[in-house]
């Protein structure tokens, strides 16, 4: 377990994000990152033990970009501030986003964010035993929504195109058929994100009042 240098770690993470932006996350190879810095691939192994560790560090850098909420916010505003902060990171670094769901956030920034959400839920009056579960529910939603938006899981399409994909005639898809008008319409994901988050905070409030 050799000791690692850290002098140029930030530079390397920037390079990795730059490569991700240019050629996609799959294009982030040790070779490509090294080339971006005019280094040999092997030079990177002085700073990270493996490509996996490098990617963990990239994720940590992304979470560290979320600005801490001002001290005087109410609990809902704290949750919204952090959620919007993560979404803004996603918008800045869309191609790096799959990292969020494919690896545990073990970075300092990740732990601090969890701590802030715990504080928010406690001041909301959530019973201690329920706090971790609700934090997981909220973070799952936030990461999942942002992730789905970005990689196109929320694909919209007309009834006909969906029916073709389902290899079924529209009559056998009554749910889709009933909503044929909505299906083609463009969606404002920013607004949907806010509304969902409001609903989830309402849910938290409802749990508090029914527990009291």
Of residues 30, 59, 62, 138, which one binds DNA by CB under 7 A?
Answer: 30
Which among a second copy, DNA, none contacts residue 15 (Cβ within 5 to 8 A by kind)? none
Under the criterion CB under 7 A, does residue 28 sit at the interface with DNA? yes
5 binds, among a second copy, DNA, none (CB under 5 to 8 A by kind): DNA
Interaction partner, residue 32 (DNA, a second copy, none; CB < 5-8 Å by kind): DNA
Q: Is 42 in the site for DNA (CB under 7 A)?
A: yes
Asked whether position 141 contacts a second copy by CB under 8 A, the answer is yes
Q: Which residue number, 91 or 195, has a Cβ lying nearer to a second copy?
A: 195
**Contact yes or no for 69/84 (Cβ under 8 A):** no
- Taking CB under 7 A as the criterion, the residue among 14, 21, 45, 147 binding DNA is 45
Q: Give me the least distance between CB of 51 and DNA, in Å please.
A: 4
Q: Which does 92 bind (CB under 5 to 8 A by kind): a second copy, DNA, none?
A: none
Give the one entry of a second copy, DNA, none that residue 22 binds, where binding means its C-beta sits below a cut-off of 5 to 8 angstroms depending on kind: none
Rounded CA separation 59/56 (Å): 5
Q: What is the DSSP string of 149-173?
A: HHHTTT----HHHHHHHHTS-GGG-
d(CA 147, CA 153): 8
> Among all chains, which residue has been given the structure tokens 């994000």?
17
Q: Segment near a second copy (CB under 8 A), from 11-19, 31-39, 65-73, 165-173?
A: 165-173
Rounded CA-CA distance 132/166 in Å is 39
With residue 107 as reference, give the H or E element that holds it: none
Q: Let me know how long the chain is.
A: 212
Stretch that binds DNA, among 48-56, 108-116, 128-136, 151-159 (CB under 7 A): 48-56
Write the CB contacts of 13 (distance below 8 Å, at least 6 apart in sequence). 54, 57, 58, 61
Q: Helix, strand, coil proportions of the chain in percent (round to 5)?
A: 75, 0, 25
Build a one-symbol-per-residue string for 74-113: x at contacts with DNA by CB under 7 A, - elsewhere: ----------------------------------------
Residue 43 interacting with DNA (CB under 7 A): yes
User: Residue 128, Cβ neighbours under 10 Å: how many?
Assistant: 9
């Amino acid at each position: 377990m050799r000791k690692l240098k850290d002098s140029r770690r930030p530079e390397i993470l920037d390079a990795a994000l730059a490569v991700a932006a240019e050629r996609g996350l799959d294009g982030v190879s040790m070779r490509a990152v090294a080339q971006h810095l005019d280094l040999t691939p092997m030079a990177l192994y002085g700073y990270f033990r493996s490509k996996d560790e490098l990617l963990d560090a990239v994720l940590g850098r992304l979470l560290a970009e979320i600005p801490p909420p001002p001290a005087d916010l109410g609990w809902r505003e704290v949750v919204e501030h952090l959620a919007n902060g993560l979404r803004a990171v996603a918008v800045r670094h869309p191609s790096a986003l799959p990292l969020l769901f494919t690896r545990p956030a073990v970075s300092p920034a990740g732990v601090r964010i969890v701590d802030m959400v715990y504080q928010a839920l406690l001041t909301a009056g959530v019973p201690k035993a329920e706090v971790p579960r609700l934090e997981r529910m909220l973070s799952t939603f936030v990461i999942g929504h942002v992730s789905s938006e970005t990689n196109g899981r929320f694909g919209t399409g007309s009834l006909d195109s969906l029916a073709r994909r389902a290899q079924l005639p529209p009559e056998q898809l009554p749910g889709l058929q009933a909503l044929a008008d909505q299906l083609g319409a463009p969606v404002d994901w920013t607004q949907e994100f806010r509304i969902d988050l409001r609903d989830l905070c309402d849910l938290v409030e409802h749990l508090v009042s029914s527990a009291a």
